[in-house]
């Protein structure tokens, strides 16, 4: 009997040692439920649509994973997503070549990220308030330069960035997300930069005493997050052939929820790129499943919040099990 209890305890410890558990369990349960309700959920077209939607979320969630791991926070990612699409769209309409238009949009994102970093790191303002203020300012700039009018009628070369399908099936955003995800996973788990980010999140004072340039590393997360947010906005504008002034509005909290659900600690020191990918897929699956099950999408926010609370509880229980507490 004791031997069986020991095996069960060992199994539980192994299971709860996985950071990705908070996203994997709800996703697995959701897939089982939807499979019974509507078998059409698993057709290739629908699965690819879910992965494409999740790809846009993951492109922003990836650098946000590094930021949260270093105890950072950025609520301006949704506004910067909109900015990226708008700047690229306006540049294209002004006759600027596509590569240069993309670079201008990414630079605009980098500037916002640098401003966030300077305000938070060197001025000591709380990240929540500072990036919330940046969000309002960026949204205001977008409204002024676009007059809240969408930008459309782009050339096919721009549309192909997101609309082209590999082998006539796989949308390009999925490929982008896979490539970025692999690179991000390697950086986080195999490089000095990744170890330093986790060390900063675990204890910034200890990291500083160990010779890590804490401010520089944190600044890099703000700039990178804003650049990738702008990139997501460019790809969204390409997908819909339209740069909407509010394309990323309201996405910041859901993206952050996906990262946390995936197993990245909101208190820093722990992060998982795979978990963030699962979190992005989970959120996209929820929206898709609600439609297929003929459930009002008004329930979407409630379900997001419920799953986030459950994921946080799983994370807390996991930490408790690993620490040996009762």
CB 71 within 8 A of CB 217: no
Map tokens 């002034």 to a residue.
245
Which pLDDT belongs to residue 13?
A: 58
3-state helix vs strand vs coil in the chain, percent to 5: 80, 0, 20
CATH number assigned to the domain covering 18-321: 1.10.3470
The DSSP secondary-structure symbol of 249 reads T
Predicted pLDDT at 240:
93
Q: From its phi and psi, is residue 270 left (phi > 0), alpha (psi between -120 and 50) or beta?
A: beta
pTM (2 decimals)?
0.90
Q: Point out the residues of the chain with pLDDT beneath 50.
A: 326
| C-alpha–C-alpha distance, residues 224 and 49, integer Å | 27
pLDDT score, position 173: 95
pLDDT (0 to 100) of residue 324: 56
- Dist. CA 129–CA 266, nearest whole Å: 16
Residue 271, judged by CB atoms within 10 A of its CB (0-12, 13-18, 19+), counts as: buried
The pLDDT, as a whole number, for residue 10 is 61
């Amino acid at each position: 009997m004791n031997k069986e209890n020991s095996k069960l305890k060992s199994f539980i410890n192994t299971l709860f040692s996985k950071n990705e558990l908070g996203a994997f369990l709800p996703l697995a349960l959701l897939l089982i439920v939807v499979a019974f309700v509507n078998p059409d959920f698993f057709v290739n077209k629908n699965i690819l649509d879910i992965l494409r939607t999740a790809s846009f979320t993951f492109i922003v969630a990836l650098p946000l994973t590094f930021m949260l791991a270093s105890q950072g926070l950025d609520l301006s990612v949704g506004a910067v997503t909109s900015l990226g699409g708008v700047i690229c769209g306006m540049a294209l309409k002004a006759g600027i070549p596509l590569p240069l238009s993309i670079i201008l949009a990414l630079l605009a994102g980098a500037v916002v990220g640098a401003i966030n970093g300077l305000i938070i790191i060197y001025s000591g303002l709380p990240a929540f308030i500072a990036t919330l203020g940046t969000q309002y300012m960026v949204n205001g700039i977008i409204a002024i330069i676009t007059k809240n009018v969408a930008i459309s009628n782009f050339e096919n070369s721009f549309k192909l960035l997101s609309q082209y399908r590999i082998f006539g099936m796989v949308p390009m955003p999925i490929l982008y997300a896979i490539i970025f995800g692999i690179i991000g996973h390697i950086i986080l788990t195999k490089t000095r930069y990744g170890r330093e980010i986790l060390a900063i999140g675990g204890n910034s004072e200890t990291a500083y005493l160990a010779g890590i340039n804490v401010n520089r590393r944190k600044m890099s997360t703000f700039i990178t997050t804003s650049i990738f947010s702008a990139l997501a906005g460019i790809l969204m504008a390409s997908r819909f052939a339209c740069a909407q002034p509010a394309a990323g509005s309201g996405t910041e909290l859901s993206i952050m929820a996906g990262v946390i659900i995936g197993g990245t600690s909101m208190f820093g020191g722990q992060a998982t790129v795979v978990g963030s990918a699962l979190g992005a897929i989970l959120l996209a699956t929820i929206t898709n499943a609600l439609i297929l099950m003929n459930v009002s999408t008004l329930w979407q926010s409630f379900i997001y919040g419920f799953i986030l609370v459950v994921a946080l509880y799983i994370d807390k229980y996991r930490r408790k099990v690993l620490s040996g507490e009762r």
